[in-house]
Amino acid sequence: MTAFCHPIASALTTVAVFMVISSAAAQSPQSQRTAVHVQAQIQKSAELQRQALQNLTDLKRAEDLINNAYAELQAALSTMIIKASGAKFPDPLFDMQKKRGEQALALLQVARDVLHTNRQDQRPKDQEQDGQPGGSRSYLQRVRSNLEEALRLTSTLAY
């Protein structure tokens, strides 16, 4: 009887090991693709934020760039949260990463709102001699400051 049990036990062990290895191999490329995709979204958001900083003289373009940067970062953060919620072993740095991402999103949202509000309030009579809208230095400085801080936070994100 023991001779009969050993071949079955060996076969079951071999099958179990094969299933574990094939399962890990099947999940690994997906996880790698997800990580690469999230990192690409973070990098794209950072690049869009840099472009927005360079285009603050064209308020409509800067607003569009900020909107796109926000969308990319939001998508990356959502994917990170979904992947972390299903992780077997939670990343000890995830909460810090999530907090930085949320702070960057909040800064981008404020920059977008300030830019949008002041762009709508512009009137031709408010133009100064240098072609800049009246009072632009204060609100543009706030937008620039928020964008710089959001870019700094975004650049520290890693997945």
92 lies in some domain: yes
Rounded to the nearest integer, the mean pLDDT of the chain is: 81
8 lies in some domain: no
Per-residue confidence (pLDDT) for residue 118, from 0 to 100: 87
Condensed to tens digits (0 to 9), the pLDDT of residues 73-120 reads 999 999 999 988 888 888 889 999 999 999 999 999 999 999 999 877
CATH number, position 123: 1.20.120.660
1 lies in some domain: no
Give the DSSP letter string of 7-41: HHHHHHHHHHHHHHHHHHHHHHHHHHHHHHHHHHH
9 lies in some domain: no
4 lies in some domain: no
108 lies in some domain: yes
Domain count, the chain: 1
Q: How far apart are the first and last CA of the chain?
A: 54
Condensed to tens digits (0 to 9), the pLDDT of residues 32-71 reads 788 899 999 999 999 999 999 999 999 999 999 999 999 9
Condensed to tens digits (0 to 9), the pLDDT of residues 125-140 reads 444 444 554 555 789 9
| Residue/partner pairs of 36-43 with CB below 8 Å, 24 or more apart | 37/79, 38/76, 38/79, 38/80, 38/83, 38/159, 39/158, 39/159, 41/72, 41/73, 41/75, 41/76, 41/79, 42/72, 42/73, 42/76, 42/154, 42/157, 42/159
91 lies in some domain: yes
Give CA–CA dist 70/81, Å, rounded: 16
* Across 23-39, average pLDDT: 70
78 lies in some domain: yes
* Across 19-31, average pLDDT: 52
> Quick check: pTM over 0.85?
no
- Domain span at 45: 34-155
